[in-house]
Amino acid sequence: MRDAGNHPYDLLTPDVVVAAVESCGFLSDGRMLALNSYENRVYQVGIESASPIIAKFYRPDRWSDGAILEEHQFSLELVREEIPVVPPLQHEGITLFQHAGFRFALFARQGGYWPELATRDDREWMGRFLGRIHAVGRRRTFKERPAYSIERFGIEPREYLLEADWIPSHVRRAYDSVSADVLDRVQDVLESTLTLQLRLHGDCHPGNVLWTADGPHFVDLDDCLTGPAIQDLWMLLSGNRRDMAEQLSQILDGYQQFADFDYRELVLIEALRSLRMIHYAAWLARRWDDPAFPAAFPWFNTQRYWQDRILELREQVALMDEPPLGPV
């Protein structure tokens, strides 16, 4: 791991951020606000006699230029269909810029708040827009973006956690055993389920949606990928089993106005949740040399943290043995 204080983002000073924005033809008024983002660095930058803009600096070495440009192209394709996605701004026909060794993109500032999805109308509204996104997503395929797989989101992250000695020795055997059991069940589910793979938002949780009087606006397609449609639906569900079944039913009522849904994918919900748990722990571990992570996630890698993950994964084993969630 890199030593603390020797991370590439240490070089992303306020002066570099402002200079990067101004290299695209804007004149900054000097105001800058760091926004809540960990994987990348995102800033609101004030512009003279105009609204502020958002500057997103991509984490070095994470994506290829081609993969980032596919993200941008997908956003612009959705916008052409009048789907409320916040696309990258273009300067002289370009959306991906470079300055001082950093790759970055600029976006218009989008107001709004995280949705609670507390009513049937809100859920159907969200479902309609996801159906429209997926209808566009089916038209062509990604060539540079990854595809959802147990290898990428389960097997490789688990191996990294075990081999890099992140897990304390006294709970390592328990994590090894239960995570292996989880992945065996996930593999069985994936092999038995035929799914239509399409271009997805990929990380469609409420934190990546801004709600306004005009409805949802989707932001941050940084994790867009190829996968099953249910990947963009299950993270919007919360509460007990009955609550989630009701929410799912209402989301699908809106979704199916614009796109077909394969109900066989419902068996994937707990499998995808299990993979996200394993992948998330490995993501935190891999980013621990970034000073922003110990500050934001002080509870990570404590004894209690790994004990809780073991309990969660045991619960996932039981949930994957139950009948799949279904709409009501």
Which of these is catalytic: 220, 222, 232, 290?
220
What separation in angstroms does the CA of 214 have from each of 3, 60, 124, 282, 319? 46, 35, 14, 37, 37
Other residues' Cβ atoms within 10 Å of the Cβ of residue 222: 22
pLDDT tens, residue by residue, 242-284? 999 999 999 999 999 999 999 999 999 999 999 999 999 999 9
Which of these is catalytic: 203, 222, 232, 290?
203
- Of the listed ranges 55-69, 212-226, 241-255, 257-271, the least confidently predicted one is 212-226
Among 77, 108, 139, the domain boundary falls at 108
Selection from 21, 152, 140 nearest residue 70 by Cα: 140
Confidence label for 135 from pLDDT (cuts 50, 70 and 90): very high
Residues 158 and 56 in one domain: no
Question: Has 232 been annotated as catalytic?
Answer: no
Selection from 270, 181, 221 nearest residue 88 by Cα: 221
- pLDDT of 5 strictly over 80: no
Domain of 16 in residue numbering reads as 8-108
**Contacts (Cβ under 8 Å, ≥6 apart) of 2:** 289
Residues 264 and 186 in one domain: yes
| Per-position b or e across 85-103, b if 16+ CB within 10 A of its CB | bbbbbeeeeebebebeebb
Select the more confidently predicted residue: 281 or 213: 281
Other residues' Cβ atoms within 10 Å of the Cβ of residue 21: 24
Q: What is the CATH number of the domain that holds 268?
A: 1.10.510.10
Residues 97 and 145 in one domain: no
Residues 129 and 217 in one domain: yes
Among 108, 132, 153, the domain boundary falls at 108
Give the separation between CA 40 and CA 18, rounded to whole angstroms: 16
Q: Where are the alpha helices (DSSP H) in the chain?
A: 14-22, 65-80, 120-137, 150, 156-163, 169-192, 241-255, 269-286, 292-296, 303-320
Residues 76 and 176 in one domain: no
Among 108, 137, 159, the domain boundary falls at 108
Residues 308 and 187 in one domain: yes
Residues 226 and 301 in one domain: yes
Question: Which tokens hold the place of 6?
Answer: 């020797």
Other residues' Cβ atoms within 10 Å of the Cβ of residue 173: 10
The count of residues in the chain is 328
Residue keyed to tokens 């090894």? 176
Residues 174 and 205 in one domain: yes
Please report whether residue 213 resides in a domain: yes
Question: Has 220 been annotated as catalytic?
Answer: yes
Please report whether residue 114 resides in a domain: no
How many folded domains does the chain comprise?
2
- pLDDT of 119 strictly over 80: yes
Confidence label for 194 from pLDDT (cuts 50, 70 and 90): low
Residues 101 and 125 in one domain: no
| Model pLDDT, residue 245 | 95
